[in-house]
Structure 1
Amino acid sequence: MTALLEIKDLQAGYGASQVLFGLDLSMQAGEVATLLGRNGMGKSTLLRCLCGWMAPSSGRIVFCGQDITGWPADRIARLGLALVPEGRQVFPNLSVHEHLRAFAANRSGAAEPWTVERVYGLFPRLAERAGHLGQQLSGGEQQMLAIGRALVTNPRLLVLDEATEGLAPLVREEIWRCLDLLRAAGQTILVVDKYVQRLIRLADHHTVVERGRVAWAGSSAALAAEPELWHKHLGV
């Protein structure tokens, strides 16, 4: 079976500082995978290369059967990759409804596409605040909007970078509930987060990054069976 995403021997850095040293990652369509590791280990650099914000020095990124290595971010997005960025990055002067309408598209040809109305069904709080500006929303509401904004592009791959960071526990659980529903619907998801116990319940496969290399990769069952690995590589 051909992988939806195949990252092979990726090397990248900033000037003379190399950050990634031959990193590999593979995902099948419909899979939920995680990228784990302490801060500064290379996760953000990998996402920057994947999303087209920086070009790797060597290696290949193949997405939807096309070599997208070094492609610009807008071209990768049109192919079907959507990012929920760290820090949410909603537009302060656009309303909730304007955010969702501006990004709505069905480039993947989904039979049951994510529409603005469907996002409101997933996050009723957004429907209640449809006329509110981005700057008027709470942190949790902004995170829901960032996820909804990505979903209405109907991505083949949804990438979430620290989507639960800084949220109250109840709001965090609402985000996890959303991801459970997306998984059940067959959405391919790559998650960067630190809540290992919750990620074990959500994901199929995990990749632990240490100093720009893959330190460990395996299933949720394997990760659950090695709590000492959490302490060694994740500090939890």
Structure 2
Amino acid sequence: MSALLEVEHLQCAYGSSQVLFDIHFTVGEREVATLLGRNGMGKTTTVRAILGLTPPRGGTVRFLGERIDGRSPDRIARMGLALVPEGRQIFPNLTVEENLRAFAANRAGVAQPWTLERVYALFPRLKERRQNMGHQLSGGEQQMLAIGRALMTNPHLLVLDEATEGLAPLVREEIWRCLATLRGQRQAIMVIDKYVKRLVRLADRHTLIERGRVVWQGDSQQLAADEGLWVRYVGV
């Protein structure tokens, strides 16, 4: 399996405070991978560094075989790397449909691209609410919209930062169902979340980080067999 994303010895800092020291992992084509750890251990900073939102201090990031560390976020996004950010960050004064249409593109050049109809089929609730403004949606509906918006770019790799954080249990189940559907469609995904029991059923490979360093990597079978890792590094 070819690597879509390759992160090697990534380092990052905010001013004089270093946050990432040695982050390394890969995400392959058609693969679901996770980045796990407690809050404040560097997961979101890693995502920001990959997307060009926080300049790395060292290491390399390659996407589709090209170095992207140092490139602008817009240029990285146009290559086909889509983020569902923590906090959703949808446009509050646009309707659901306008939010989706604003991101329509076919960055991966797929034969059957994501369209409004496909997003509405994945999230029927969005179709019901398509004329509602972003600020009128519940947190779960906003997360569905954020995922749908990212899919409308037809990315090579979909990155979800805190995929189900703060969502009600029923809505959380809807997001897990969506991600399982995307996996079945061979969409490459990188997920940050704390629900390890669900992630070991969804993902292929996992990377655990603590204080800006990788402390464990392995597949779902290995992670499922050692729940002590969950308690030690994820806190569940």
Structure 2 residue identity aligned to 1:9: H
Q: Alpha carbon RMSD of aligned pairs, Å?
A: 0.7
Q: Give the secondary-structure state (helix, strand or coil) at the position aligned to 1:200.
A: helix
* TM alignment of 1:15-164, pairs within 5 A: 15-164=15-164
1:191 aligns with 2:191: yes
Q: What is the one-letter code of the residue matched to 1:156?
A: H
Structure 1 gaps of 5+ residues are: none
In structure 1, distance between residues paired with 2:58 and 2:235: 30
Q: TM-score, normalised to structure 2's length?
A: 0.99
TM-superposed deviation, 1:163: 1.7
**Cα contact 1:11–1:21 (8 A) shared by 2:** yes
Residue type of the partner of 1:3? Answer: A
SS of equivalent to 1:38? coil
Shift in Å at residue 234 of structure 1? Answer: 1.1
Task: For 1:34 and 1:47, locate their aligned partners in 2 and report how far apart those are by CA, in whole Å.
Answer: 12
Structure 1 position 2, deviation (Å):
3.6
Structure 2: state its 5+ residue gaps: none
Work out the number of aligned pairs and report it.
236
**Same amino acid, percent of matched pairs:** 66
Could you tell me which residue of structure 2 aligns to residue 228 of structure 1?
228
The amino acid that maps onto 1:50 is: I
Partners of 1:215 and 1:140 in 2: CA distance: 32
Segments of 4+ in structure 1 off by > 6 A? none
Distance, in Å, in 1 between the alignment partners of 2:210 and 2:216 is: 9
Which letter maps to 1:223? L
**In structure 2, the residue corresponding to 1:4 is in which secondary structure?**
strand
Q: How many angstroms apart in 2 are the aligned matches of 1:191 and 1:94?
A: 27
Q: How far apart in 2 are the matches of 1:107 and 1:47?
A: 20
Give the match's secondary structure for 2:102.
helix
The AA in structure 2 aligned to 1:215 is V
Partner Cα separation in structure 2 for residue 163 and residue 208 of structure 1: 16
Separation in structure 1 between the aligned mates of residue 9 and residue 163 of structure 2, nearest angstrom? 27
Deviations 1:150-170 (A, max 9, x none): 000000000001121111101
SS at match of 1:218: strand
